[in-house]
Amino acid sequence: MSAPRGPHSSNDVVVLVNHNAPSPNSPTSIPNPQSAQSQPQPQEKEERGEGKKETLVLAYKTLGVVFGGLVTSPLYVYPSMNLKSPTEDDFLGIYSIIFWTLTLIGLVKYANIAIKADDNGEGGTFALYSLLCRHLNIGILPSRQVNISSSIDSIPYRDVETHGWLAKFFKRSLIARRLLLFIAMLGTCMLIGDGVLTPAISVLSAMNGLQSQFPSVTKQLVEALSAVVLILLFLMQKFGTSRVSFLFSPIMGAWTLTTPLVGIYSTIRHYPSIFKALSPHYIVRFFLRNGKSGWLYLAGTVLCITGSEAMFADIGHFSGRSIQIAFIFTIYPSLILTYAGQTAYLIKNPNDISDGFYKFIPTPVYWPMFIVATLAAIVASQSLISATFSVIKQSVVLDYFPRVKIVHTSNNKEGEVYSPEVNYFLMVLCVAVILIFGSGQDIGNAFGVVVSLVMLITTILLTLVMIMIWRTPPVLSALYFFVFFVLEGVYVSAVFTKFSEGGWIPFAISFILAFVMFCWFYGRQRKMDYELTHKITFDRLEELLADRSVQRAPGLCFFYTNIQDGITPVLGHYIKNMKSLHKVTIFTSLRYLLVPKVAPNERIVIKKTELEGVYRCAIQYGYADAGNIEGDDLVGQVIDSLTLHIQNYSLNLSSDSEEIEKEILSLEEARRYGVVYLRGKTRFHTDKSHGWFDKIMLGFYEFLHSNCRSALPPLGIPLQQRIDIGMLYEA
């Protein structure tokens, strides 16, 4: 005897949408409680009533979060270069290199090109990767490639046929898609490494100013003070980017104003004609004169652009326009004038190269500048810490990184996030780098590797976006790629010569993080493959429920499943052993789509099946969304949407009113009886037939999975209503 069927087709889909009145031919329309409280989408941020005023306020706040690492680079660029008997022409060549690096990479690439490649308000390497996947449907995990609702047309996958041979190549080649994912992962890991090294080198370089005035101050004391300062900084992160930026922006404003003033004074006093070095021919002369040594010095000059990636990665915390304004009108001219004054001083005092920042500060203002420099170095650490939180969150919600706690620290900007586990991980690594390595030059060598590789990876991904999504003319795309790939490639080749002198540090950090990411990705992919192969179809579910020994227990059950077209095999395991299924069962999926944000009116998608009391529900999020549907709100919204869907459907088909009323009452009765949330707690089973690779990768994945956070707590599910169903998957 088969299970009774409901009155509706299994193909009926309802999406929560807000219109004034329902239409018989359109999806059910109901008021969505989230809509009234929802925040403006990223593209609307600069279209609010405040307009320019709000953008200028945001631009001011970016000084304390985005540009700290970039604007404090004069603290450690020259001390990291280890120049030997430099001449006037050497310094002119170095200043010319610094000027053109800041102009091409900072001003042209990041402030005017990369910043426009945000994925609806989110930046960073993973945002570029998700942008490519979303437009071209070239993702890896099956769960990320499909959308349960055909009616959501705001986040489509575009036809690859319209994107040329390169898009077709990625579509056909699994190796190319995996290589693209690896590049995005490497960029993410390197950016996290940047979040470790920026605080270490910035604070340590600033605190070294004590030794300039007090030779009796030991290196160990400077390291200890630097470690204490960093610990206090990381403890402040829980207060959120907005509060931190409010505190830090005045400090960076003071730094951005005072250092160029000192630079102008130094230029006038020591070498007024320094700006002749803006001519690129000084770069050519520098390399012709120094040869291989000049190439090696690039490992130091690349540090002038440290923190530039934060301009792109921190877009979610502010806005592209505010970051662009702050860089063009404050940060860029400040750096040009500061480096000019610093270089002018060193031309006349070449023996002070090892302490090239503090020596060029006039004695009367030394201590005020030391205080400002120390505070600015602390702020500098914030830019990459914030960027690290952003990219970790993107990786977690896209299921490429183990789940960690993500806290949204702002009610107005959902891009502002904080992760306690990541924060303390960074803190421990920063303090360890300072206490173990100590030398600013060794950390500078490591820093150069991170900076150059992240820039190069961004160039590669951005070129793909220009070719396949923006459809930029081939000549301009080729020009962009050639200029920046060559420039950054030369920098990469130079910093790799410092591998044994500290350059291995970021590789060690990145290798560990990449191994974690790859193991997690490999395990998730294997688990998804198994579930798709052994999924329970609704025809199979009908057969299981037709068994007379299977009872329909009273109550409402949310049964979590990751399968798009079918149900997790845990369901079959559960029914066979428990011989029951709740009278009202909603198979629920949490869908993190390859878009930054899903509109509140498209958050919940309901699908009616042909089995009595059995429904499907998808709760959809973008990687920049906050999971703010909790507990009773979740139950209420799903029940309301189901109820109105049933009523609306009955109007179209003139269904039996008594049957419709009975179905609605059964929903309310099940809700009153009690709500329970079921999910599978699965593990891989490996035996002697499996190779060493599977045993290592899946074993480490199980370790990560057992120790990471659950996917359910973000929905506010009460612990007493949760039931885990254990099952072994054969690897």
3-state secondary structure of 215: coil
Q: Which position has the token pair 């500048």?
A: 369
Q: Alpha carbon of 400 to those of 156, 509, 582: distances in Å?
A: 22, 17, 34
C-beta separation of 302 from 101 below 8 A: yes
What's the rounded Cα separation, in Å, for the pair 511 and 428? Answer: 17
Q: Taking the model in full, what pTM does it have?
A: 0.71
3-state secondary structure of 593: strand
Residue 218, CA atoms < 13 Å, CB-side half-sphere:
3
Q: Which fold has domain 71-142+162-503?
A: Amino acid/polyamine transporter I (1.20.1740)
Low-confidence ranges of the chain (pLDDT < 50): 1-50, 142-161
Handedness of CA 323, 328, 107, 474 (dihedral sign): positive
What's the rounded Cα separation, in Å, for the pair 466 and 458? Answer: 12
Q: What is the pLDDT of residue 94?
A: 94
DSSP letter at 102 equals I
C-beta separation of 386 from 242 below 8 A: no
Can you give 180-195 as a three-state secondary structure string?
HHHHHHHHHHHHHHHH
What's the rounded Cα separation, in Å, for the pair 400 and 377? Answer: 32
Q: What is the pLDDT of residue 475?
A: 93
Phi, psi of 591, rounded to the nearest 5 degrees: -110, 110
Q: CA end-to-end span of the chain, whole Å?
A: 36
325: tokens are 């304004």
Can you give 605-663 as a three-state secondary structure string?
EEEECCECCEEEEEEEEECCCCCCCCHHHHHHHHHHHHHHHHHHHHHHHCCCHHHHHHH
Q: What is the pLDDT of residue 635?
A: 75
DSSP letter at 276 equals G
The domain locations on the chain are 71-142+162-503, 535-730
Beta strands 551-560 and 580-593 are parallel
Element (H, E) at 675: strand 675-685
333: tokens are 């001219």
Nearest CA to 352 out of 340, 339, 365, 343 is that of: 343
Q: What is the pLDDT of residue 282?
A: 94
What's the rounded Cα separation, in Å, for the pair 617 and 613? Answer: 13
What's the rounded Cα separation, in Å, for the pair 127 and 105? Answer: 19
Residue 667, CA atoms < 13 Å, CB-side half-sphere:
21
What's the rounded Cα separation, in Å, for the pair 224 and 431? Answer: 9
Q: What is the pLDDT of residue 4?
A: 38
Element (H, E) at 722: strand 722-730
pLDDT digits (tens, 9 = 90+) for 239-296: 766 666 667 778 888 889 999 999 999 999 999 999 999 999 999 999 999 888 889 8
What's the rounded Cα separation, in Å, for the pair 324 and 196? Answer: 25
Cβ within 8 Å of residue 165, ≥6 positions away:
none
